[in-house]
Chains A and B, each alone.
Chain A
């Protein structure tokens, strides 16, 4: 099992929140990613959301290291805007935020400029996401 931890102390599985909009029925992709992440030894909190502040609230309560938001029905820019505002308000900017689902290419740059660390669209593998997450969290632990 994965013993890489953020402090290098006792064993601390990486906790990831995977959130998809409640009205988004195309959640097969997210479910698949959740399974893969579990296989990598992550603890994956799976949830629906209506509003960005619900993602923030959940991230706080679950004390996650990573938030993954899946969006396939559009509206990504305002959701991520609200999400980052909420994280900032609670001093939680050290949480790694990633995106997934179907996000138009043009929006990718905008989202990355906002602080989204990576976007995993169709065709990208969960493995890439894992490597990116582990790299990101290790950097943080050393910083």
Chain B
């Protein structure tokens, strides 16, 4: 049977050595929260925090996968091993997914220094899947120097990538009306580097100029967000992009770099807590919560106050019906 339990010894021996089969299985275990997940966590504990984690986000079709492909190529030239995580949306109706980013990433067949894994969002909002942060950790522990995460790419501000990646690249392309959309969606705020891809297309210069204006109108930051021009499909501008990534990485506080794993974990714990809280509050027969809702509806209580009271209820695990 395929998905059998393998245990900590297997992962200690094979995952930490960076073996592909073990890496793939560890990811599956953690993604499915299966019996092996704990063994994997135990093994990678203390082995995380070395990799430079880079996020690529931006509108559908802007060229994220193509950029990841050519950027990976550049990283290989610079002797870095690369892990790629490409997230695509799951259908909210069937739970199924088409994971198609690999089509644009097929230049690395036969190269042991590149590992690509597609993940379905599985109902998680925010541009990633619930397990993505842990998959980053697993690749990190398996020895990948650079870990690249391509988000679902709705063009909305997929802020979660900020929590996971040290460097966030927002990819735009001319002709998508991106620059205005991007400003509206707040996507510029999450960028450490802005890329105008498809620079071979008409109006690329104009797109770059609009983005530059938008950035200059935004808040002053320690790291002024650069705008890079690329043609992902023929590799133009990719070396410059890689140099800029390096500069950004160097600019990050050393302590912040070391704390990345803890920060990712805090986000995960917060998400887990929120999920449980939601389930607990939303369970059938929660009379006290119903009473709060009615009070808000009657105009006797503010929403925020009701929320705070609901938190209290959960903290004391009271409020009618059984414990979860």
List the interface of chain A (C-beta within 8 A of B). 1-2, 6-7, 9-13, 22, 34-35, 37-51, 53-54, 57-58, 60-63, 65, 90-92, 94-95, 140-141, 143
Contacts and interface: CB of A to CB of B under 8 A. Distances in A.
A110 B109 CA distance: 28
A140 B35 contact: no
B292 interface: no
Contact of B97 (A43, A53, A90, A143): A43
Contacts of A57: 20, 109-110
Contacts of B28: 63
Contacts of A63: 24-25, 27-28
Interface centre among A34, A38, A39 (most CB of B within 10 A): A38
Interface of B: 1-4, 20-21, 23-25, 27-28, 32-35, 90-91, 94-100, 102-103, 106, 109-110, 115-118, 120, 122
A7 B96 contact: no
B32 A11 contact: yes
A51 to B, nearest CB: 7
A62 B94 contact: no
Nearest to B115: A61
Contacts of B1: 6-7, 94, 140-141, 143
B95 A45 contact: no
B98 A38 contact: yes
B106 A12 contact: no
A12 B34 contact: yes
B22 to A, nearest CB: 10
B106 A54 contact: yes
B283 to A, nearest CB: 20
B34 A7 contact: yes
A43 B23 CA distance: 19
Contacts of B34: 7, 9-10, 12
Contact of A65 (B2, B99, B100): B2
Given A9-B34, A10-B32, A40 B94 contact: yes
B99 to A, nearest CB: 5
B15 to A, nearest CB: 13
B31 to A, nearest CB: 9
